[in-house]
Amino acid sequence: MAEFRNPNASTPGSGGGGGDMRSTLAFVVLAMVALLAFQYFKPPTPQPPPAVATQPRPNAPGPQAAVGLPVPTPSPAGATAALVAAKETQTIVENELYKITFTNRGAQVKSWILKKYKDSQGRPLDLVNQRAAADFGYPLSVYTYEAGLTTELNQALYQASATGNVAAPAGIIFKYAKGPLTVTKTFTFNESYVIDTQVSVMRNGSPVRALLTWPSGLGDQEEVSQYAASKFAWSSDGKRDSTGPNKGMFSAGVTGNATLEQPYDYAATIDLYFAAAFLPAVPSRATIVTLHNTIDAPKDIAHPDAEKFKSPVLGIAVGDTSGATHTRLFAGPMQFDVLGSIHTTASDGKATGEDLKPLIQFGWLKVIAEPLFLLLRFVHGFVGNWGWAIVIVTLVFNLLMLPTRFMMMRSSLKMQRIQPKLEVIKRKYAGLKATDPKRAEMNAETMALYKTEGVNMYGGCLPMLVQMPLFFAYYRVLANVIELRQAHWGWLPNLAIADPYHILPIIIIASMFLVQFITPSPGMDPAQRRMMAFMMPAIFGFSMWSFASGLALYWATGNLLNLGLQLAINRSPMGRELHAIAAKRAAKKDGRNPAKTIQGRR
């Protein structure tokens, strides 16, 4: 895919066994950086199949020339009888899921209400981004290569086959004819979120390539963060991918009126929770145009008059190389079961192809994230609250990881027990330069000691490496599933937004500090320990300040459980031995340097 600008819109160290703890410290710092950047991280985007780009010549009369069709010459004899409505009317189509309001001006959608969802003000959610649509166009408007023709088709008064209220299943036909033009737009509705659309634009009896559009983002986008989450998503020849406005197709500097023609099973504009996805009736003839504009959006919807930022508005247009467009359109929530029930068009022309579940951005950890979500949903089925489901699954998750916690403690204890022998080796080879060949002898002697004593120098980090994929998969689940949107728990009105009272970040800071404070770390340098005890809790806690409270609830629950587990471990023989070693080394250090150090407490 490549970016396509809409011509009708303005473009917008220290002593002892510190090695083990330093490894742990380095890993924790790496985890923090990865957490803050993870929402932007993904594996390299695979390139779509080679596309055939067609672009009309500057003075060409339209896309017919670009695809080799004969260029018609307007003739009075070719004019058709005028078919224009006398006034603007509305047609409202409803089922249990939506209420769509059409206007016959342009035969396009003015509002698309999703009955089961609310906006941030508690009103029924309109999937049409009204503010952006006023500038860049409304859903189901038509896109052509000719600015004047596009404007005419989207401003003309079509004759509608039905007006007023219409109950789905139903169909509406809009017709317009004037001069050499004959236009027909047909929309068919059933009980689902999917509608069937057909558009035909003829000029002097020859087809004009006209694409059907969803040009102006989605209606739940109210502030900068929501616009920033918008993406294009597509499936081409079974290869699924997505990209943001500043990546992939847009980083390549592709500009101009270029249309990509290649097999597309679906093409969509999405954000975290909603999607407008076109499913071409003949994927092999699909024509895709990406529409990229910008809008001034407030940073915080609670203060709409405050500072505003340029934010991307992503739209999409889909057509057919034959000229006439036939495609289904899904416009609704990216809910797991809903997307699983919608299928692309298979080679036999039936809707039995792949489903739309890949639109949920679980990323490359989908193999872990999807089962985690299903587990979360399973627990929710029993407790009836997503917040409690997060708490329960987090407790289960941490208890399952308890053996790795003991593994880390045992590894740390073994490392501390051999510290006197390691000090002997270090004194034996003291003063060696970094390039001295004898350093190889020191390393060999050290590794032999590790082997003899049964110590794994990476034993403190490997268990954490096992946990990290699960942690990031959990992060992807809690940050992307629509079920958490506007789900409440306790004082939290919406698990998909930040804690309004910042209670959870404070709990995270306090609990992390206490865990660090009571955990014995005999081999850690005092400066490192101070950073672990103060800096890390502050950094992690404040990183949660603006994160979704569902994720903060997961983290706080895990921290409180770890605090309780550490208190229990401290009373075990292994914990008491580590504390004894820590106390002995603290006394020794205080004898050389009276500076106060933080030591673990029971």
Q: What residues contact residue 328 under an 8 Å CB cut-off, 6+ apart? A: 194, 195, 196, 197, 278, 279, 281, 345, 351
Tokens of 62: 């339209």
Which residue pairs from 450-455 have beta carbons closer than 8 angstroms and sit at least 24 positions apart in sequence? Answer: 450/418, 453/414, 453/417, 453/418, 453/421, 454/414, 455/411, 455/414, 455/415, 455/418
**CATH no., domain 39-48+82-361:** 2.70.98.90
Q: Could you identify the residue written with the tokens 């342009």?
A: 106
Give the residue extent of every domain in the chain. Answer: 39-48+82-361, 370-407+464-592
pTM over 0.95, yes/no: no
- Does residue 6 have a pLDDT over 60? no
Write the pLDDT tens digit of every residue in 131-140.
999 999 999 9
For the chain, percent of residues with pLDDT exceeding 90: 44
Nearest partner of 357 among 368, 347, 366, judged by Cα: 366
pLDDT for residue 531: 67
pLDDT band at 544 (very low <50, low <70, confident <90, very high): confident
Write the pLDDT tens digit of every residue in 377-399.
999 999 999 999 999 999 998 88
- The CA distance from 125 to 189, in Å, is 20
- Does residue 599 have a pLDDT over 50? no
pLDDT for residue 20: 46
What is the overall mean pLDDT for the chain? 80
Q: What residues contact residue 129 under an 8 Å CB cut-off, 6+ apart? A: 216, 217, 218, 219, 221, 313
DSSP result, 555-581: HHHHHHHHHHHHHHHHTSHHHHHHHHH
pLDDT for residue 33: 52
Q: What residues contact residue 138 under an 8 Å CB cut-off, 6+ apart? A: 106, 108, 109, 110, 128, 215, 216
